[in-house]
Structure 1
Amino acid sequence: MNVSDSELMAGILTRSGHQTVPHLDDADVVLVNTCAIRENAETKVINRLKHLHHRKRRHPELIIGVCGCMAQHLRDRLLDAAPYVDLVMGPDAYRDLPVALDSLARGVESHVSLTDRDPFVGLRLDKNEDYADIAPIRKEGIRAWLTIQRGCDKMCTFCIVPFVRGRERSLPLKLLVEDVEKLVDQGFKEVVLLGQTVNSYHNDRADFGDLLYAVGEVNGLERVRFTSPHPADATDSMIDAMANSPTVCKHLHLPLQSGSTEVLERMHRTYTAEAYRTLVSKLRERVPDISLTTDIIVGFCGETDAEFMETYQMMADIRYDSAFMFKYSEREGTLAHKALPDDVAETVKGERLKQIIELQENISADINNAAVGGTVAVLVEGESRRDADRYYGKTDGFKTTVFPKADSHIGEIVNVRVHSTTAHTLIGQKV
């Protein structure tokens, strides 16, 4: 989502006459696009701003802006920590970027020091803003990100997103199909549909399954992916599209968060552990070769040893292909921060995280080892970072695969016979 928003900002600024530059030293303006999901993201942003401040001291005319969720969430703290920031703008205010930069630039031309002026602040949430008319400036490659829905109505107690991105709204299906057609014309082979809860998409009478079918029928498109869905919105129409559309990938990132119904209730996740298990069974019955990945949080407010073990057992039973795993990090402004004590010791959180990481690494390695001797279809993405003589790409199930270049080309789908694996990568030879 942040990559997509950065491309959106680039589109807005390019349309108003600005241009991106390849190196920081060439820039008159530096915009830091931020996330507020986890505390370490804030630490990284502050450190990056301190680095930029060193350059601003040498070049006082440099304009530094902070955009995105952290700007929306922590305006006052941000400006206290980095008073040299000239611009603070939330996710619904990007249209104001050209006006803000022009205003700041005029101040420089008038010899008014930026340090003597109040920063330009744009933090109004707009339930009608969907940026549907803005053409993002995308990076070259084979994969394009397409935002189909903004905001979130779910109100999970651990999450700050509804407070920094506003209420849920979806873009028109017809417009999205036209966008995908344009992306194919530009050379993109794969489109990833984005939303805070992407499968809650709805527009008039069209739901997410309808959108998957419609996008999947665009001529010339090789693959459709989406992230991140919510288990409570995993409808039969979505599953039908995954099972029947040859373009929709057989990979689903299905956040669990916890395997304990009691913890899920405290998280306001709106499904039970048993309902989640039933959904996984349905998915594997309807889409037998599906690849499942997930998100897990350990150490959420009040999590007991028994509740943690329910999560551990759920992971052991379901056997995800991979997982993003985190210790609970309290976020100021969330419902949990206001009403639930963060009462699990950090040492306990750390030990629980270590246990599930070890479990998942073993499961991932076992699943990948089972692929040895088989053949997978790989969409070639580019040159391997570790070996210039090899290409890498993704399978339909989103597994990274590395193989010798031979006579392959970026953007084509090739068949690769797997001869070895790691817990995270398939290694093979084109056949």
Structure 2
Amino acid sequence: MTRSRTMPTVYVETYGCQMNVADTELMLGHLAAHGYTRTHAAEAADVILLNTCAIREHAEARVLGRLGELARLKRRRPDVRLGVTGCMAQHLRAKLAERAPWVDVLVGPDGYRRLPELLRGGDGDPHVALRLDPSETYADLPVARESGVRAWVTVMRGCDRFCTFCIVPYVRGRERSLPGAVLLEQVRALARAGVREVVFLGQTVNAYHDGVWDFAELLRRAAEVPGILRIRFTSPHPSDMSARLVDAMAECPQVAPQLHLPVQSGSDRVLGGMGREYTVAEYEALVARLRARVPGLALSTDVIVGFPGEDEDDFAGTEALVGRVRYDSAFLFKYSPREGTRAWKWGDAVPEAEKARRLQRLVALQESISAEINRRLVGAEVEVLVEGPARRTAGWMAGKSPQLKTVVFPGPAEPGDVVRVRVEAATSHTLTGRRVAT
């Protein structure tokens, strides 16, 4: 490793979900405590880490392509330490060793504590930390969060659900929750630092239980912290949406009226094959209870098309469900076989062209629903938590409504401000308006 600077520098690229964003912040905090400083320039870094995702094949292909690019950097600067961390390191250790032998360090989701030690290692075979640890929560490690108005707080790690299509339990291990007292102190510290919104994270976040508090109690305690304007959480499992949790959402004003509630399919037959543990009717009954208890609730979801055995009737059921529930937004995916999951042995029976056709139809349906829901807000006033400058228009600002709608409006305003905006135009993704004098 280069020693021309007093403190070695580390560059991290993050792929995948919010859990990976939070894990990157965890790694950076841990490395900072061991003398590393962050850089945003890979060319100048002493250490380059790719924090990876294994949910879909496309995510892994992107990382393999990036490792090919970094091989050229490694040839020019052989002293650079190159590491692959996260789910892909856990899932594809053998493939990475074969396809990218220039990688120095492989660290799975339960091995981040060992990163400083592994980075100090010499040349040769990759230094690895890939053992799943059922007790590791990193509750005692510092986190280097990006400054801003929103912060991610990981409340639990792992997953016990074992949906047949999902690799997560195999690469992140079994569920374990961080102590509630530790999490509450994190929220207090964030409030003192000026954070206005916290997002609780977990693979099945509403399965949280530290032995004393369940997730509903954690929400209620966090809602009492002065300075925190909004609390969100992702991603819950429908089967863990208890009455206590719905009550907490309804009774705590700080809990935002917005919920990401993955459904995956609108066919009971496909849901059974996926191991989702609920029926379409049970899911819709839950949606009805949530909407009755939480006025103005915005719902989003995940849907997979082309799961093995999904026929046209099954897909029609999914289209019908999306039309009935009328989600504000949705993350829609083609099924991607993951080696090691139970569904892997069933093959990829639905042709790729048919998966693409179904996905295109569902995207068109959801886009029309999202646009219609947002157009109904034209003329209304919405509360906006300002996040920063808008991406496309100089002098404009952007922020989020309580329902997680992106709202853009002419400045000036500062990140962290709470302003009221009258909506003048809407697309399926964005609301545009002007500030209302208060």
3-state secondary structure, aligned to 2:302: strand
CA drift at 1:136: 0.7
TM-score normalised per structure 2? 0.94
Indicate whether 1:265 and 2:272 are aligned: yes
Q: What is the match of residue 208 of structure 2?
A: 201
Indicate whether 1:221 and 2:243 are aligned: no
Question: CA-to-partner distance for each residue in 1:331-373, whole Å, 9 max, x for gaps?
Answer: 11111003x2321111111111011000000000000000000
Counterpart among 414, 419, 424 of residue 419 in structure 1? 424
Counterpart among 379, 385, 403 of residue 373 in structure 1? 379
Q: What is the match of residue 82 of structure 2?
A: 64
Indicate whether 1:73 and 2:91 are aligned: yes
Where do 5+ consecutive residues of structure 2 fail to align?
A: 1-18
Matches within 5 A, 1:4-83: 4-83=22-101
CA drift at 1:243: 0.9
Question: CA-to-partner distance for each residue in 1:50-74, whole Å, 9 max, x for gaps?
Answer: 1111111111111100000000000
Counterpart among 163, 183, 200 of residue 190 in structure 2? 183
> Structure 2 counterpart of 1:393, which letter?
G
Question: CA-to-partner distance for each residue in 1:172-216, whole Å, 9 max, x for gaps?
Answer: 111111110001111111100000000000122311111111111
> Structure 2 counterpart of 1:396, which letter?
P
Question: CA-to-partner distance for each residue in 1:80-116, whole Å, 9 max, x for gaps?
Answer: 1111101111010111111111123xxxxxxxxx3xx
3-state secondary structure, aligned to 1:37: coil
Counterpart among 262, 281, 286 of residue 288 in structure 2? 281
> Structure 1 counterpart of 2:287, which letter?
V
Q: What is the match of residue 169 of structure 1?
A: 176
Single out whichever of 235-244 and 367-376 deviates more from structure 2.
235-244
3-state secondary structure, aligned to 2:199: strand
3-state secondary structure, aligned to 2:330: strand
Q: What is the match of residue 107 of structure 1?
A: none
Q: Distance in 2 between matches of 1:400 and 1:292?
A: 15
Matches within 5 A, 1:338-353: 338=345, 340-353=346-359
CA drift at 1:412: 1.3
Q: Distance in 2 between matches of 1:428 and 1:244?
A: 30
CA drift at 1:384: 0.6
Indicate whether 1:387 and 2:393 are aligned: yes
Q: What is the match of residue 369 of structure 2?
A: 363
Matches within 5 A, 1:91-110: 91-104=109-122
3-state secondary structure, aligned to 1:158: coil
Indicate whether 1:119 and 2:126 are aligned: yes
Q: CA RMSD in A?
A: 0.8
Q: Distance in 2 between matches of 1:205 and 1:20?
A: 37
Q: What is the match of residue 336 of structure 1?
A: 343
Contact 1:302 1:341 in 2 (8 A): no
Q: Distance in 2 between matches of 1:69 and 1:165?
A: 7
TM-score normalised per structure 1? 0.96
User: Runs ≥4 in structure 1, deviation > 6 angstroms?
Assistant: none
Residue correspondences, number: 418
CA drift at 1:396: 0.3
Indicate whether 1:398 and 2:416 are aligned: no
> Structure 1 counterpart of 2:363, which letter?
I
3-state secondary structure, aligned to 2:37: coil
> Structure 2 counterpart of 1:348, which letter?
E
CA drift at 1:240: 1.0
Q: Distance in 2 between matches of 1:33 and 1:287?
A: 36
Counterpart among 83, 87, 104 of residue 105 in structure 2? 87
Single out whichever of 13-22 and 73-82 deviates more from structure 2.
13-22
Q: Distance in 1 between matches of 2:126 and 2:367?
A: 46
3-state secondary structure, aligned to 1:386: coil
> Structure 2 counterpart of 1:267, which letter?
M
State, as a whole percentage, how many aligned pairs show the same letter. Answer: 53
Counterpart among 161, 180, 184 of residue 154 in structure 1? 161
Q: Distance in 1 between matches of 2:20 and 2:296?
A: 30
3-state secondary structure, aligned to 1:364: helix
CA drift at 1:288: 2.2
Counterpart among 302, 305, 308 of residue 315 in structure 2? 308
